[in-house]
Amino acid sequence: MNDIFRELEKVTALQYDHHDLPKWLADPILMVARNPADYQGKEYLVEILVTQVREYDVYAEAGCCKWAYDHEDIKRTLRWLEE
């Protein structure tokens, strides 16, 4: 069960360190990853978040077709996790 939280921490660190994931977005994601007990029963949302972070692109909405996830997608999933 905690594997998904470790995966979230790993992909967040990778996107933050080597790609364009901003700190203001990485910090709340890492809070989720490092506090799995607070999100028991919401692992399905954490799985969605892992995918969104892995496929994050700052320019996801720039073209005529959305082909990746942007900060709005991630913020929405974070809100769902807090509900």
pLDDT band of 2, cuts 50, 70, 90: confident
- What rounded mean pLDDT belongs to the chain? 90
Report domain extents, the chain: 3-82
On whether the CB atoms of residues 12 and 29 are closer than 8 A, the answer is yes
Contacts of 76 (CB under 8 A, 6+ apart): none
pLDDT of residue 80: 96
For the segment 61-83, what is each residue's pLDDT rounded down to a tens digit?
A: 555 555 678 889 999 999 999 99
User: What CA–CA distance (Å, rounded) separates 38 from 17?
Assistant: 26
pLDDT of residue 69: 83
